[in-house]
Amino acid sequence: MSKIVLPILIFFVVGCAYGQNENTTRQMIDAINVPKNVSLEFKKMYPRAYVIAWYVTNISYWYEDYGSSYYNGWYQNRTVVVYTFTQPSYYEAEFMTENEIGRAIFNRYGTWFETRTRVYKLPDKVESALQQSDFYNWKWSDYKERIEAPGMPGSVYRLNVSNNQSSQIIRLNNDGEVVQIKTEQK
Protein backbone atom coordinates (compact mmCIF):
# COMPACT_ATOMS: atom_id res chain seq x y z
CA MET A 1 0.00 0.00 0.00
CA SER A 2 2.83 2.45 0.78
CA LYS A 3 4.14 1.88 -2.76
CA ILE A 4 0.96 3.46 -4.05
CA VAL A 5 0.67 6.23 -1.45
CA LEU A 6 4.21 7.56 -1.90
CA PRO A 7 3.89 8.29 -5.65
CA ILE A 8 0.48 9.89 -5.07
CA LEU A 9 1.91 12.03 -2.27
CA ILE A 10 4.85 13.11 -4.46
CA PHE A 11 2.47 13.94 -7.31
CA PHE A 12 0.28 15.97 -4.95
CA VAL A 13 3.21 17.96 -3.49
CA VAL A 14 4.70 18.70 -6.92
CA GLY A 15 1.25 19.65 -8.25
CA CYS A 16 0.66 22.05 -5.37
CA ALA A 17 4.07 23.65 -5.82
CA TYR A 18 3.45 24.00 -9.57
CA GLY A 19 0.02 25.49 -8.93
CA GLN A 20 1.50 28.08 -6.58
CA ASN A 21 3.99 29.10 -9.27
CA GLU A 22 1.15 29.39 -11.78
CA ASN A 23 -0.32 32.24 -9.74
CA THR A 24 2.85 34.29 -10.24
CA THR A 25 2.57 34.31 -14.03
CA ARG A 26 0.07 35.74 -16.39
CA GLN A 27 -2.34 33.41 -18.12
CA MET A 28 -4.38 34.20 -21.21
CA ILE A 29 -8.15 34.16 -20.68
CA ASP A 30 -11.22 34.65 -22.83
CA ALA A 31 -12.72 38.13 -22.79
CA ILE A 32 -15.97 36.68 -21.42
CA ASN A 33 -14.07 35.77 -18.23
CA VAL A 34 -12.98 39.36 -17.57
CA PRO A 35 -15.10 41.02 -14.87
CA LYS A 36 -17.54 43.49 -16.39
CA ASN A 37 -16.25 46.41 -14.29
CA VAL A 38 -12.71 45.73 -15.59
CA SER A 39 -13.72 45.66 -19.25
CA LEU A 40 -15.92 48.76 -18.82
CA GLU A 41 -13.11 50.73 -17.20
CA PHE A 42 -10.72 49.65 -19.95
CA LYS A 43 -13.18 50.76 -22.67
CA LYS A 44 -13.70 54.08 -20.88
CA MET A 45 -9.93 54.72 -20.80
CA TYR A 46 -9.18 53.36 -24.29
CA PRO A 47 -12.39 53.67 -26.33
CA ARG A 48 -10.67 53.15 -29.71
CA ALA A 49 -8.35 50.34 -28.64
CA TYR A 50 -8.42 46.86 -30.11
CA VAL A 51 -7.78 44.23 -27.44
CA ILE A 52 -5.23 41.70 -28.63
CA ALA A 53 -5.56 39.50 -25.55
CA TRP A 54 -6.73 39.49 -21.94
CA TYR A 55 -4.65 37.93 -19.19
CA VAL A 56 -5.28 37.14 -15.58
CA THR A 57 -2.21 37.96 -13.54
CA ASN A 58 -0.98 39.25 -10.22
CA ILE A 59 1.29 42.06 -9.16
CA SER A 60 4.38 39.91 -8.66
CA TYR A 61 4.33 39.00 -12.36
CA TRP A 62 3.81 42.63 -13.35
CA TYR A 63 6.81 43.72 -11.26
CA GLU A 64 8.99 40.88 -12.56
CA ASP A 65 7.98 41.28 -16.20
CA TYR A 66 11.41 41.17 -17.76
CA GLY A 67 13.23 38.96 -15.31
CA SER A 68 13.25 38.48 -11.60
CA SER A 69 13.55 41.62 -9.48
CA TYR A 70 13.34 43.89 -12.54
CA TYR A 71 11.02 46.33 -10.81
CA ASN A 72 12.09 45.84 -7.20
CA GLY A 73 12.63 49.23 -5.66
CA TRP A 74 11.17 51.13 -8.61
CA TYR A 75 7.75 51.85 -7.26
CA GLN A 76 6.98 54.37 -4.56
CA ASN A 77 4.50 53.49 -1.85
CA ARG A 78 1.01 53.68 -3.29
CA THR A 79 -2.09 54.96 -1.56
CA VAL A 80 -4.14 52.22 -3.22
CA VAL A 81 -4.58 49.21 -0.94
CA VAL A 82 -3.38 45.99 -2.57
CA TYR A 83 -4.77 42.79 -1.13
CA THR A 84 -3.34 39.32 -1.45
CA PHE A 85 -5.66 36.65 -2.80
CA THR A 86 -5.16 32.94 -3.33
CA GLN A 87 -6.27 33.48 -6.93
CA PRO A 88 -4.74 36.05 -9.30
CA SER A 89 -6.56 39.30 -8.73
CA TYR A 90 -5.41 41.48 -11.61
CA TYR A 91 -6.41 41.62 -15.25
CA GLU A 92 -4.13 42.79 -18.00
CA ALA A 93 -5.27 43.93 -21.43
CA GLU A 94 -2.73 43.82 -24.23
CA PHE A 95 -4.05 46.29 -26.80
CA MET A 96 -3.43 48.28 -29.94
CA THR A 97 -4.54 51.75 -30.88
CA GLU A 98 -3.97 53.44 -34.23
CA ASN A 99 -0.25 53.86 -33.60
CA GLU A 100 0.58 52.21 -30.26
CA ILE A 101 0.82 48.84 -28.60
CA GLY A 102 0.32 48.80 -24.87
CA ARG A 103 -0.59 46.84 -21.78
CA ALA A 104 -2.92 48.08 -19.07
CA ILE A 105 -3.50 46.39 -15.74
CA PHE A 106 -6.57 46.67 -13.52
CA ASN A 107 -7.50 45.01 -10.26
CA ARG A 108 -10.55 42.76 -10.09
CA TYR A 109 -12.73 45.73 -9.13
CA GLY A 110 -11.82 47.74 -12.22
CA THR A 111 -9.33 50.09 -10.55
CA TRP A 112 -6.60 51.02 -13.01
CA PHE A 113 -3.09 50.23 -11.79
CA GLU A 114 -0.74 51.09 -14.65
CA THR A 115 -0.31 51.25 -18.42
CA ARG A 116 2.87 50.61 -20.35
CA THR A 117 3.04 51.62 -23.97
CA ARG A 118 5.84 50.88 -26.38
CA VAL A 119 7.30 54.00 -27.94
CA TYR A 120 9.52 53.98 -31.00
CA LYS A 121 10.76 57.53 -30.53
CA LEU A 122 11.16 59.42 -27.31
CA PRO A 123 9.54 62.87 -27.14
CA ASP A 124 11.94 65.56 -28.42
CA LYS A 125 12.38 67.13 -24.98
CA VAL A 126 13.22 63.75 -23.41
CA GLU A 127 15.58 62.71 -26.21
CA SER A 128 17.35 66.09 -26.18
CA ALA A 129 17.87 65.88 -22.42
CA LEU A 130 19.16 62.31 -22.75
CA GLN A 131 21.66 63.42 -25.41
CA GLN A 132 22.94 66.05 -22.97
CA SER A 133 23.16 63.60 -20.05
CA ASP A 134 25.95 61.30 -18.90
CA PHE A 135 24.37 58.63 -21.15
CA TYR A 136 24.79 60.55 -24.42
CA ASN A 137 27.43 58.17 -25.82
CA TRP A 138 25.92 54.95 -24.40
CA LYS A 139 24.01 52.53 -26.61
CA TRP A 140 20.25 53.06 -26.20
CA SER A 141 17.94 50.06 -26.52
CA ASP A 142 15.44 49.96 -29.35
CA TYR A 143 12.72 48.96 -26.89
CA LYS A 144 11.42 51.96 -24.97
CA GLU A 145 8.29 52.31 -22.86
CA ARG A 146 6.07 55.09 -21.63
CA ILE A 147 4.65 54.28 -18.20
CA GLU A 148 1.55 55.94 -16.80
CA ALA A 149 -0.04 55.24 -13.42
CA PRO A 150 -2.45 56.91 -11.01
CA GLY A 151 -0.67 59.39 -8.81
CA MET A 152 2.27 59.87 -11.15
CA PRO A 153 2.80 63.54 -12.09
CA GLY A 154 3.11 62.60 -15.77
CA SER A 155 4.53 59.93 -17.99
CA VAL A 156 7.83 58.21 -17.32
CA TYR A 157 9.97 56.85 -20.14
CA ARG A 158 12.01 53.73 -19.55
CA LEU A 159 14.84 52.28 -21.61
CA ASN A 160 18.02 50.32 -21.25
CA VAL A 161 21.39 52.00 -21.86
CA SER A 162 24.73 50.24 -21.96
CA ASN A 163 28.39 50.74 -22.56
CA ASN A 164 31.29 48.29 -22.38
CA GLN A 165 31.34 48.23 -18.58
CA SER A 166 27.73 48.57 -17.51
CA SER A 167 24.09 48.16 -18.37
CA GLN A 168 21.52 50.42 -16.76
CA ILE A 169 17.77 50.70 -16.89
CA ILE A 170 16.87 54.35 -16.69
CA ARG A 171 13.64 56.25 -16.26
CA LEU A 172 13.17 59.82 -17.37
CA ASN A 173 10.27 62.14 -16.63
CA ASN A 174 8.47 64.31 -19.21
CA ASP A 175 11.15 66.98 -18.85
CA GLY A 176 13.93 64.49 -19.62
CA GLU A 177 15.30 64.39 -16.08
CA VAL A 178 16.68 61.00 -15.11
CA VAL A 179 14.50 60.04 -12.14
CA GLN A 180 15.74 56.48 -11.59
CA ILE A 181 18.72 54.39 -12.53
CA LYS A 182 18.88 50.68 -11.91
CA THR A 183 21.90 48.53 -12.63
CA GLU A 184 20.87 45.50 -14.58
CA GLN A 185 22.06 42.21 -13.13
CA LYS A 186 24.26 40.13 -15.43
What is d(CA 82, CA 156) in angstroms, rounded to the nearest whole number?
22
49 and 98 together in one domain: yes
**Which domain-ending residue is among 114, 143, 175?**
114
**Which domain-ending residue is among 50, 79, 114?**
114
| Residue 62, in any domain of the structure | yes
| Residue 20, in any domain of the structure | no
Backbone angles phi, psi at 112, to 5 degrees: -70, 135
pLDDT in tens, 103-127: 999 998 999 999 999 999 999 999 9
**pLDDT at residue 152, rounded to an integer:** 82
| Residue 104, in any domain of the structure | yes
Going through 30-138 in order, the beta strands assigned E by DSSP cover 50-57, 90-96, 101-107, 112-119
What letter represents residue 28's amino acid? M
Q: Choose the weakest-confidence range: 3-12, 27-36, 126-135.
A: 3-12
pLDDT in tens, 30-68: 999 999 999 999 999 999 999 999 998 866 555 544 333
Please name which of 168, 34, 183 lies closest in space to residue 105, comparing C-alpha atoms: 34
Buried b (16+ CB within 10 A) or exposed e, 57-96: bbbebbeeeeeeeebeeeeeeeeeeeeeeeebbbbbbebe
127 and 183 together in one domain: yes
More confident residue, 175 or 24: 175
**pLDDT at residue 185, rounded to an integer:** 57
81 and 103 together in one domain: yes
Mean pLDDT of 149-159: 88
**Which domain-ending residue is among 114, 136, 153?**
114
Mean pLDDT of 164-182: 88
Determine the structural domain holding residue 38 and report its residue range.
25-114
Look at the chain and report how many structural domains it folds into.
2
58 and 137 together in one domain: no
69 and 45 together in one domain: yes
Q: What is the mean pLDDT of the chain?
A: 77
| Residue 45, in any domain of the structure | yes
129 and 92 together in one domain: no
**pLDDT at residue 66, rounded to an integer:** 38
Residues contacting residue 137 through CB under 8 Å, at least 6 positions apart: 163
Q: Quick check: 89 and 108 in contact, CB under 8 A?
A: yes
Measured CA to CA in angstroms, residue 148 lies from 108, 114, 155 at distances of: 19, 6, 5
> Residue 182 — very low, low, confident or very high, per pLDDT cuts 50/70/90?
confident
104 and 174 together in one domain: no
Q: Quick check: 145 and 156 in contact, CB under 8 A?
A: no
